[in-house]
Structure 1
Amino acid sequence: MFKLQTLLRLCTRTAAAAAAAGPPPPQLPQAPPPPTWVILGSIARVSATVDPSAAAADLSLALKSPPRVSLLTIPPRIFPDTTTPRNFPSVIAAADASGLLLLHANQGRCKGPTIIDRPDLQEFMWRDFVLDATTAAAAFPLPEPELVMDNGHMGLLAAAAGGSGGGYMVVELQPMYGADYAHLLCFSSDSGEWVRKKVHYPLSRRMLCPNGAVSHSGKLWFVDLSWCLIACDPFAAAPALRVVPLPPGKELKCGEAWGVLDKYRCVGVSAGKLRFVDMYQRNTAAPHPPKISVWTLADPGTDEWTLEHEASFAEIWADESYTATGLPNKIPVLALIHPKNPDVVYFFLEEHLFGVDVRARKVVECEVYELVAPPSFALATRFVRAWELPRELSSARMSSPPALPLPATLYATAAGVSHPAPEGGTAPPRDSPPPTSTWVILGSIPSVRAAGEGERADISVAFAAPPRVAILTVSDKVFPEPPTPRFFPFVLAADASGLLLLQANLGRSLTRKIIDNQRHQSLSWCDTASRYFVLNSVTGSAFHLPDPEEPILHQAMLGLITSPRGGSHYMVAELQPIIGSDKATILCFSSEIGEWVDKRVDYPLAPRPFVPIGVFSHHGRLWWVDLTWGIITSDAFADKPVLRFVKYTKEKVLQCREGWGVTDKFRYVGVSAGKVRFVDTYARPRRGLLPKVSVWTLVDPDSDEWTLECEARFAEIWADRSYKATGLSKEIPVLALIHPENPDVVYFFLEEHLFGVDVRAHRVVECERYKLVAPPSYCIANRFTRTWMLPRALSSGMANWSNAINLAEKGAGPSRRSAKKSGRIMGSPGDYHMVGMTRQTFIG
């Protein structure tokens, strides 16, 4: 029995500063911040007696950190009957992050049951309740329960506005077998009554097996684990059903594995995408080795599933992390998928609930579980719910398992952010294996290895789990000259395939450069030799990109994207707009053809300079970022790419040249949990506006709509004891990045420290001293780090992971004052810039 712990290590000031302040008062150990989700037991506990002191409460929750199970308790007035194996209150659905639960409960046969008394039907009746967990005093009984036919086809969907106390809809799909139509029975909190909507039913004459409903992307997804999903938007005036078949080869015959399939399969949302988890095996004469596979629905509007990863149970059993659990080598029962990290899947086995990183074939969490029911031999995925908590609950105190000694190899967390685990309340020995992670914070400026140091590889990476910074080292072959504040190697993009795009421009004496071709003629003076590399971090190799006929104009417009067809193909592309013109060029290098190609495109922007700060890839496209205005996106692999401009909300658009040169200290755009996020701390110089951080989400890659996810004033963050424990001053920090798997967590630079803040909870969740190759701390901005999701070969621990980057341990680093004094060596605020030019046409 063990439980992996995440150690919240809040760093302190230097010894000199601490001594000057005098001995600190004794403080209690800081508890780790509560998780944003729980594993909720589906069967609720019924309190034995009515507590007069809590007469108004219709529910209570015992929240526990995963993999422990949280339990719901309801009073006898909601379930007055006796709980039996055939008669029990059950949570049918949990509307993510709204705090709403849909509960199915018997009203009792002896104490005034609800009875259907109609000419065609007479029977006792169950009743369904909508519970608001944020108030605990709002159990709303849905009217006319006799209208409901099968709660296995029921779902709960919060209105688009979301949030506690917001609108919702309870929906049951009522197919008419043999007919080409069905009914959606819809109860809206706005109207307070049921409405039956007739819809076209697109399936053939086959029985639909009800395995519940999942809410995702503003729709309900009715699940049949043997066949398909059916998606619809019940809020639409004229809803339409859309059938999404399971991945190829996963459809079962009608009636196959009836009643037991949810021991082996589940559908859920993880990191913002629908996932299908499968471990079902057909009974054949020559069965395959049992395995677990995770599939991803590429987009809510498509039918395309992608196999993310799979592993045989023999591989999992062979790992020492599984041996450490003491569990037998038996096929477990599937429980759920981690809602934040799709690599992690949970299982039941012998009174234990354990999580497995399927990519790494490692157990990352294990704990004895407690459920009201059923007994272990009857367990299935329907008896637990992955429930993302509303802020009112996620910021509450939770019960966590006690810290126990763990095998050194198990110091990891399912969230993908790892730290040395506690050992009796202290950090592990220095010789313990370092933690690994599914992602890292990569310093954009690499170290350059001097000639003759013996390393054969072109590159190497010293990995460290966030919030520490991983450092790239390149050979003198890649960058043969000593770096300076003007000429230095710089990582422009980091891809989950393991590929990195590196600029390695060298300084040269001023020379005249003439361009004379059919497209244009120009004369310029240049003191730079442009050099760009694609680095393979898995093999340690560096490929020098050939020089294009048309020069690369601006390194901040250069991006890297891997081919959507898979394989090892990639494309490097630069967007070259001509300000004042309605045309632009995408300069593309494809690894398949090995040369640069110009693609002419229409340019949709007004005649205003586009101020580039970087390029990232998402959803099969490149996204060029201007932090003052908006983002340009396009599919560079298309024969005829189309540019689309996604503008920020009106109040976030800055005037031309406003914040010039410093916006990436206050704003950031990146991908988190599968969606594009915009983080903003910029404050115009106006009186009365309190500084704050806000996180915005692009609703869909094809939309222009931004939604405010969460925001917090810095005063609220500073007031929390988690911030006080860091010892940092109450200054507005420099924005660094957003957590790529948890959009609630944003990272900041301040006083040689990199710390993460849960913006919803207003809490510091991580803090560590950082050290970069460059620049000095007073020049820091978010372009000097990259969020890098790692390929399996690197995240599985096979790479060079360390407990400490030696750069970060060599000392406290120069102070702001001493750094300024040594500006001649370290550079000035005008150095370490992104260089380039933008063509412009002049009219008149």
Structure 2
Amino acid sequence: MLLPLRRLPGLLRRSLSTAASPPAWAMVYRISTADESARGVSLSLAPPPLASRVSIPRHVFGLEPFPDNTDRDPVNFFSIAPPAPKEGSDPDTGRNFINVFGSGVLAASGDGLLLLGAYRNRANAWAMFKHQVPSPAPFEVLDQVYARSFYDPMRVSRFVCNPVTGEMVRLPDFDGTENAFSAATGLLTQADTGPGRGPPKRYAAAQLGVLDGGQRFLLRRLSSETGEWDELVLPSPLPPGRRMHMNHEVLDFGGRLWWVDVSWGAVCVDPFSDRPELCPFELPGDVMLPDQQSEEEMWQLLNHRRMGVSDGALRFVEVSQEEPFRIKSFTLDDESGRWMVVHQVSWRTLCSEARATPLIAAIDPLSADLLHLHVPVGKGFCVTADIRWKRPVESMALGSGIHPSKCESSFVLPCVLPSFLGSSPIPGKNNVSKNKTLADVLVRSDRHPKT
């Protein structure tokens, strides 16, 4: 059995509705683009359920202008396959190696700061594209590199960003070998008077990885007060033989970071604590799956299950995958420490004409009654539904620049944008590698021979 769900005194209540005016929020498209002339990060806001777009300055990749003086985005870098090697030549020669770039939004804090990742990979062009021509859609090339490249590991540079002011602070890299691409990383912010009560005075970034087949966890954490990463190995609070799949975004809630496995529950930890401890929280009994799920099953499950923070409470939503596609919403009660059903509605009631299973796009962070759904029909469209009064509120196409093939499994990220962000500098020791680009780091690391 899992450890009993424990109440966290004073931490589970984080009401946004008590503010003088509700803060704005955005559904941030997690695939970012690069801007040739930008000096900082920028957020192109769109009202939900439309997705807002993030752009980062191209200089973070350390790229020189393209020889043909075009303005191609490094994310869309290779829109045609490279030429095949000449007959009798070695396809692994240096001239066939290429660099592939990409960037994306990794997490959002409860106070509106973003954690971004900029990726760079060196791979064999012919081996990578031998059977499939790369697509010009963002991250499609990146996905192929990650799946096919055995020549160089994916490297990632992380930035804490203020999407309103454009300020970016580069985090230092981890020491040694680490799975930087896939391990789930979150961002937590705190004010002097507690979470959710003013401009952030400090933040913590943390990454949780699985060790020994799931028997232990590796917690890497960085505080803005120290500007350095440290590592801790923590015992797993899960049942023996159960491994956690962390393909859900990491949540900032109640002064803790929450890593979610939508098949059984979540673990949370205070990254600022001198003695951090992983606390488990099970899903409701009729939702939790008793058997271990495969990677492929978990990605499919993530389309229909989501955990999030809404109106100061932790919420969980499930959309059944069979007719009539029943939507069930739960909230974690901070008095009893138990999940309570708050809404149930059939998708057929909300959209009688739809014939496709809706996917969860985002839990509304300001209203427990609103849910944003993605319907994969044609090029796809988003529906905002009031699940309390059982009626659709709004429906619209995904918008330009949003690629339907990538609109599954957390393709948008809810991000609250309180008014104080416009005058809030990113806290902490921000001189740490602040002005180094990802290319600077790669040049330095490439000087060390691989073992």
Aligned residue in 2 for 1:603: 236
- Contact residue 710 and residue 759 of structure 1 kept, 8 A: yes
Q: In structure 2, what is the Cα distance between the partners aligned to 1:653 and 1:461? A: 37
Aligned residue in 2 for 1:737: 362
1:760 is paired with a residue whose SS is: coil
Aligned residue in 2 for 1:649: 284
Please, what is the CA RMSD of the aligned residues?
3.1
How many residues are aligned here? 345
Aligned residue in 1 for 2:414: 787
- Contact residue 43 and residue 52 of structure 2 kept, 8 A: yes
In our comparison, the structure showing a higher alpha carbon Rg is 1
Aligned residue in 2 for 1:465: 47
* Unmatched runs of 5 consecutive residues or more in structure 1: 1-298, 309-339, 345-356, 358-415, 417-436, 511-523, 720-727, 797-844
1:468 to partner: Cα distance? 2.2
Aligned residue in 1 for 2:158: 532
1:731 to partner: Cα distance? 2.3
- Contact residue 507 and residue 528 of structure 1 kept, 8 A: yes
Q: In structure 1, what is the Cα distance between the partners aligned to 2:203 and 2:422? A: 21
Structure 1 residue 746 corresponds to structure 2 residue 371: yes
Aligned residue in 1 for 2:309: 671
Q: In structure 1, what is the Cα distance between the partners aligned to 2:413 and 2:172? A: 25
- Contact residue 458 and residue 478 of structure 1 kept, 8 A: no
Q: Structure 1 residues 300, 787: closer, same or farther in 2, change over 3 A?
A: same
1:233-275 CA distance string (max 9 Å, x none) = xxxxxxxxxxxxxxxxxxxxxxxxxxxxxxxxxxxxxxxxxxx
1:342 to partner: Cα distance? 2.5
Q: List aligned pairs for 1:287-436, cutoff 5 A.
A: 341-344=17-20, 357=21
Structure 1 residue 544 corresponds to structure 2 residue 173: no
TM-score calculated relative to the size of structure 1 = 0.38
1:772 to partner: Cα distance? 6.1
2:397 aligned partner, one-letter code:
R
Q: Structure 1 residues 601, 556: closer, same or farther in 2, change over 3 A?
A: closer
2:292 aligned partner, one-letter code:
C
Structure 1 residue 574 corresponds to structure 2 residue 207: yes
Q: Structure 1 residues 794, 588: closer, same or farther in 2, change over 3 A?
A: closer
Aligned residue in 1 for 2:334: 700
1:739 aligned partner, one-letter code:
D
1:477 is paired with a residue whose SS is: helix
Q: Structure 1 residues 662, 585: closer, same or farther in 2, change over 3 A?
A: same
Structure 1 residue 618 corresponds to structure 2 residue 253: yes
Q: In structure 2, what is the Cα distance between the partners aligned to 1:302 and 1:501? A: 26
* Unmatched runs of 5 consecutive residues or more in structure 2: 1-6, 64-73, 79-99, 125-149, 194-199, 424-451
Q: In structure 1, what is the Cα distance between the partners aligned to 2:237 and 2:19? A: 39
1:487 to partner: Cα distance? 5.0
1:660 is paired with a residue whose SS is: helix
2:351 is paired with a residue whose SS is: helix
- Contact residue 185 and residue 205 of structure 2 kept, 8 A: yes
TM-score calculated relative to the size of structure 2 = 0.69
1:527 aligned partner, one-letter code:
P
Given candidates 567, 570, 587, the residue that maps to 2:220 is: 587
Structure 1 residue 629 corresponds to structure 2 residue 256: no
Given candidates 106, 119, 123, the residue that maps to 1:492 is: 106
Percent identity between matched residues is: 26
- Contact residue 579 and residue 608 of structure 1 kept, 8 A: no
- Contact residue 34 and residue 57 of structure 2 kept, 8 A: yes
- Contact residue 681 and residue 694 of structure 1 kept, 8 A: yes
1:566-604 CA distance string (max 9 Å, x none) = 653211101123244643221011111111111232221
- Contact residue 623 and residue 631 of structure 1 kept, 8 A: yes
Q: Structure 1 residues 667, 556: closer, same or farther in 2, change over 3 A?
A: farther
Aligned residue in 1 for 2:121: 507
- Contact residue 122 and residue 151 of structure 2 kept, 8 A: no
- Contact residue 162 and residue 421 of structure 2 kept, 8 A: no
